[in-house]
C-alpha cells in the first residue's frame, strides 16, 4: 500500500498535511507559491517549430522534500522482495511522475524509516491498529533508520559526458532583463546544506529536453547514413510535390519571346502559386513523421501509440534517461552581445532595431549523465549511430541550445565509454 507524499516544512521535520498554518513571509513558502515553468515547442522534421506546437509546463523546484509511506503485507519469505523495493528507490534511473524521459521525476532518498509488525503478536497487532495516519517522522524507538544501497546498473549503461564550452552557450528563457532583450534560462533550487530549506540564487539551467531534442535529430541522421536511407525519389514523392514539379515544368516551356502577360505565363504562375510544399494533413507517411519513424529514434526515444493505423500500434516509452543540469553562476559568466537588424535593401541598420542578447560562459567542465537501457543498444547499427551522435557532441560538431547559427553552443569533451 502506498500513500500520497506530502511536503516537508522548511525545518525538514514537520509535514505540511491537512489544515496547517505557514508563515508566508518566509522565503521558502513565498517561493513555492510561484513555481518555475518550462516552455516547449514541438519540432518538425526540418528542425524548426511546428505551427501551434507551443506549450508550457509548471513543475516543482529541485530540492523540495516530500515524505510518504509504503507498506507491504506478507510473511518472512517476502523480506528479500521488500528490501529490493526499498533499494530500488535509491536507483539513479528510478523516476516518478510525468516527463521522466526529459529530465523530470528524478529523486534522491534522504532517509528511510522501517518497522516490522508481527500481526500474530498481540502487542504488535495493537500497535499496528493504533498507527496514526499522519506522516510525521516517527519518534518511536521501534522504528529503525534503514541503510540502503543502490542496485547495480544491470539494465542501463551510464554515459557520463564531461563537456567544456568552446565559447558561449545559450538556452533561451523567452524574455529579457534590465541588461538584454533576450537572456538565458535560469532557475532557483532549494538547498539544505544548513539543515533548513534555503532558496538559492538563480542558477544557469541546461534543460534536459533541449539536449534530448538535439541528440534525437542527429541520431536519425547517423542511423539513416549507416543504413543507406536516402530522401525519396521523384516517383516516390507525395502528391503535393508532383504538383510543384508539374508547375515548374510548365514554366520551363514558356518561350522567351512570350510576354509576361501571356495566358501561358499566367497559367504557369497560377499553377505555381496553387502548389505547396506543405503536405496534406491526411497524407500517409507525411514528412513531419519521418524522423519519428526512424528505427533508432523509435527504439531509444520511444513513440506514441497510433490508434488510427490499419494495424493499431501500441506506444513505447523512451529508453534514454536525461537529467537537467544546474550551474552556479556569477556576473563573470555573463556576456551581452549587441545586435542591430540590417535593412535588406540598403544594407544599413534599421531604425529602432537595436537589441541585446545575454549568453553564458564557464571554464568549468559541465557533467551530463545519460542512462541508456542496454537492451535498446543490441542492434549494432543503433549502437553505432548513438555513439557517433555522442562523439559529434564531444568533438564540437553538434551544438546545443539556441543561437547556434551565431556560433554559440559548441562544446568539446569526453565520455567515460569509448565511442569509437
| Residue 95, domain member (yes or no) | yes
| Residue 29, domain member (yes or no) | yes
420 in Cβ contact with 394 (< 8 Å): no
- Please tell me the total count of domains within the chain: 2
Asked if residue 146 and residue 15 are part of one domain, the reply reads: yes
Q: Please, which pLDDT band fits residue 83 given cuts at 50, 70 and 90? A: confident
Question: Phi, psi (5° rounding) for residue 206?
Answer: -110, 100
| Residue 70, domain member (yes or no) | yes
Q: How far apart are CA 210 and CA 43, in angstroms?
A: 11
Query: 1-10, 113-122, 297-306, 404-413: which has the minimum mean pLDDT?
Result: 1-10
Identify the domain boundary among 123, 152, 181.
152
Q: How far apart are CA 408 and CA 398, in angstroms?
A: 11
Compute CA distances 44 → 31, 215, 291, 352, 385, whole Å: 36, 14, 8, 33, 20
| Residue 50, domain member (yes or no) | no
Asked if residue 144 and residue 28 are part of one domain, the reply reads: yes
Asked if residue 119 and residue 24 are part of one domain, the reply reads: yes
Q: What count of other Cβ atoms lies within 10 Å of the Cβ of residue 213?
A: 19
* H or E segment to which residue 306 belongs: none
Cα distance between the two ends of the chain: 47
Identify the domain boundary among 214, 249, 278.
278
What average pLDDT is seen over the chain? 84
Q: Please, which pLDDT band fits residue 262 given cuts at 50, 70 and 90? A: low
Identify the domain boundary among 127, 152, 177.
152
| Residue 21, domain member (yes or no) | yes
| Residue 13, domain member (yes or no) | yes
Asked if residue 18 and residue 124 are part of one domain, the reply reads: yes
Question: Phi, psi (5° rounding) for residue 240?
Answer: -65, -30
Cell of 32: 513555492
| Residue 357, domain member (yes or no) | no
pLDDT value of position 130: 86
Rounded mean pLDDT of 237-246?
A: 57
Its domain, for residue 269, covers 238-278
pLDDT value of position 253: 52
Q: Please, which pLDDT band fits residue 205 given cuts at 50, 70 and 90? A: very high
Q: What is the number of residues in the chain?
A: 420
Please tell me whether the overall predicted TM-score, pTM, comes out greater than 0.75 for this model: yes
| Residue 356, domain member (yes or no) | no
Residues 6+ apart with CB under 8 A from 233: none
Asked if residue 13 and residue 120 are part of one domain, the reply reads: yes
> What does the pLDDT look like over 100-157, one tens digit per residue?
999 999 999 888 888 889 999 999 999 889 888 888 877 677 788 877 666 666 789 9
Amino acid at each position: 500500500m502506498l500513500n500520497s507524499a506530502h511536503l516537508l516544512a522548511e525545518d525538514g521535520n514537520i509535514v505540511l498535511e491537512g489544515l496547517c498554518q505557514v508563515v508566508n513571509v518566509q522565503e521558502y513558502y513565498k517561493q513555492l507559491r510561484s513555481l518555475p515553468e518550462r516552455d516547449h515547442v514541438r519540432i518538425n522534421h526540418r528542425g524548426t517549430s511546428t505551427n501551434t506546437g507551443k506549450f508550457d509546463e509548471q513543475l516543482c523546484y529541485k530540492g523540495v522534500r516530500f515524505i510518504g509511506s509504503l507498506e507491504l503485507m506478507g510473511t518472512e519469505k517476502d523480506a528479500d522482495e521488500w528490501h529490493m523495493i526499498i533499494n530500488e528507490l535509491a536507483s539513479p534511473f528510478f523516476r516518478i511522475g510525468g516527463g521522466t524521459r526529459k529530465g523530470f521525476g528524478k529523486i534522491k532518498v534522504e532517509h528511510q524509516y522501517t518497522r516490522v509488525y508481527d500481526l500474530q503478536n498481540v502487542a504488535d497487532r495493537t500497535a499496528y491498529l493504533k498507527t496514526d495516519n499522519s506522516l510525521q517522522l516517527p519518534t518511536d524507538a521501534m522504528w529503525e533508520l534503514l541503510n540502503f544501497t543502490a542496485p547495480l546498473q544491470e539494465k542501463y549503461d551510464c554515459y557520463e559526458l564531461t563537456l567544456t564550452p568552446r565559447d558561449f552557450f545559450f538556452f533561451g528563457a523567452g524574455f529579457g532583463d534590465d541588461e538584454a532583450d533576450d537572456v538565458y534560462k535560469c532557475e532557483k533550487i532549494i538547498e539544505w546544506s544548513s539543515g533548513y530549506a534555503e532558496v538559492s540564487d538563480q542558477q544557469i539551467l541546461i534543460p534536459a529536453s533541449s539536449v534530448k531534442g538535439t541528440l534525437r535529430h542527429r541520431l536519425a541522421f547517423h542511423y539513416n547514413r549507416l543504413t543507406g536511407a536516402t530522401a525519396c525519389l521523384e516517383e516516390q514523392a507525395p502528391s503535393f510535390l508532383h504538383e510543384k514539379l508539374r508547375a515548374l515544368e510548365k514554366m520551363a516551356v514558356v518561350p522567351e519571346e512570350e510576354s509576361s502577360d501571356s495566358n501561358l505565363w499566367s497559367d504557369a504562375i497560377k499553377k505555381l502559386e496553387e502548389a505547396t510544399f506543405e503536405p496534406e494533413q491526411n497524407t500517409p507517411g507525411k514528412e513531419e513523421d519521418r524522423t519519428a519513424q526512424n528505427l533508432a529514434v523509435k527504439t531509444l526515444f520511444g513513440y506514441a501509440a497510433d490508434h488510427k493505423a490499419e494495424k493499431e500500434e501500441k506506444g513505447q516509452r523512451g529508453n534514454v534517461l536525461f537529467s537537467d543540469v544546474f550551474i552556479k553562476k556569477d556576473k563573470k559568466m555573463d556576456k551581452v552581445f549587441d545586435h542591430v537588424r540590417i535593412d535588406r535593401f540598403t544594407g544599413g541598420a534599421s531604425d529602432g532595431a537595436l537589441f541585446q542578447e545575454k549568453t553564458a560562459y564557464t571554464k568549468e567542465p559541465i557533467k551530463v549523465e545519460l542512462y541508456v537501457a542496454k537492451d535498446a543498444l543490441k542492434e549494432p547499427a543503433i549502437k553505432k549511430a548513438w555513439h557517433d551522435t555522442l562523439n559529434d557532441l564531444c568533438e564540437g560538431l553538434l551544438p546545443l541550445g539556441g543561437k547556434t547559427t551565431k556560433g554559440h553552443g559548441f562544446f568539446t569533451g569526453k565520455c567515460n565509454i569509448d565511442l569509437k
